[in-house]
Amino acid sequence: MRKSVLSLAVAATATFSGIAGAQTAAPAAAPAPSPITGNGTLVSEYRFRGIDQTYGKPAIQGGIDYSHSSGVYLGNWNSNVSQGAGFPGGNIEMDFYGGWKGSFGDFGVDVGAIYYMYPGTNAGPTIPFSPVNNRTGVVHQGSVNNKEIYIGGSWKWISAKYFYSVDDYFSAPGTEGSNYLDLALTFDLGNGWGVNGHYGHFSFKGMDNANYNDYKIGVTKDISGWVFGAAYVGTSAKGDCSNGEFYCFFNTSGTESRDAGRSTVVLSLGKTF
């Protein structure tokens, strides 16, 4: 069919050229967008659900995504992390996810699963305080990982997504069923400017002192495909180190502590390609 249409177009051009002179060719159709995209970001500090993952240090992040016309998608995303954030022996987070997205007018739906992997992690009896030992003695030994399923919905610039842990949350025994609710809004102001907001609630199964809320208010500016961002991030997570609270993290030697839920401003620079 494509060959027949092309042949007719050539014949028609030749006929009109003979009658009225050379004609301007129709512009070629724009190529279909690639189903594969990549992304890269530099952030001043990596926050996962409001909690510091890099001990206040910058992070380099990036990933790749595949999206099929049916709505099925697969992807991978990676970031450096700190061992003191609960990943002893490891320094990288690798996320693998897949699911299905669909849209119905202004409404959208997203269902899928995600696996968080931390290569090289090896929690043991000598590790300092972290989310997997809670200052009460080590409750997990071995590699750290997490498995979640999720379902989300959106309407125009508002979205909500619910994550449910199908196994021990980040390998902490007895925490299957931990869950996180993510409410977000993203609004385009025009001329490359945008604003975004987020509210989240985390429920840590079996660890009431680890439940918390987090929020974010941010602004972005797109300059030739490079997106600059600044966001204020805060949480209600208990991280007072003088009281030995849950989200007080120690470095790997146990000589320095940090409130991992403290409020901060996160700067970012990212690009999708």
Q: In the prediction, which pLDDT does 252 show?
A: 72
Q: Does 21 have pLDDT greater than 60? A: no
Q: Does 5 have pLDDT greater than 50? A: no
Read off the pLDDT band of 28 (50, 70, 90). low
Tell me the mean pLDDT in the region 67-77.
98
Q: Are 84 and 128 in contact (CB under 8 A)?
A: yes
Q: Does 245 have pLDDT greater than 90? A: yes
Tell me how long the chain is: 273
Q: In the prediction, which pLDDT does 124 show?
A: 65
263 Cα distance to chain centroid: 20
Share of the chain above pLDDT 70, in %: 82
In CATH, the number for domain 36-272 is 2.40.160.40
Q: In the prediction, which pLDDT does 86 show?
A: 86
Tell me the mean pLDDT in the region 91-116.
98
* Residue ranges per structural domain of the chain: 36-272
Q: In the prediction, which pLDDT does 123 show?
A: 73
Residues whose CB falls within 8 Å of the CB of residue 219, separated by 6 or more in sequence, listed in order: 193, 194, 195, 196, 229, 230, 231
Tell me the mean pLDDT in the region 163-170.
96
Tell me the mean pLDDT in the region 139-145.
76
* Rg for the chain, CA atoms, rounded: 24
Read off the pLDDT band of 31 (50, 70, 90). confident
Instruction: Compute how many other C-beta atoms are within 10 angstroms of the C-beta atom of residue 234.
Output: 15
Read off the pLDDT band of 108 (50, 70, 90). very high
Tell me the mean pLDDT in the region 102-131.
82
Q: In the prediction, which pLDDT does 52 show?
A: 97
Q: In the prediction, which pLDDT does 244 show?
A: 87
| Cα–Cα distance, 173 to 261 (Å, whole number) | 23
**Lowest mean pLDDT segment, chosen from 37-41, 139-143, 148-152:** 139-143
> What's the mean pLDDT when you consider all of the chain?
87
Q: Does 235 have pLDDT greater than 80? A: yes
Is pLDDT larger for residue 92 or for residue 137?
Answer: 92
Q: In the prediction, which pLDDT does 273 show?
A: 95
Share of the chain above pLDDT 90, in %: 71
Read off the pLDDT band of 6 (50, 70, 90). very low
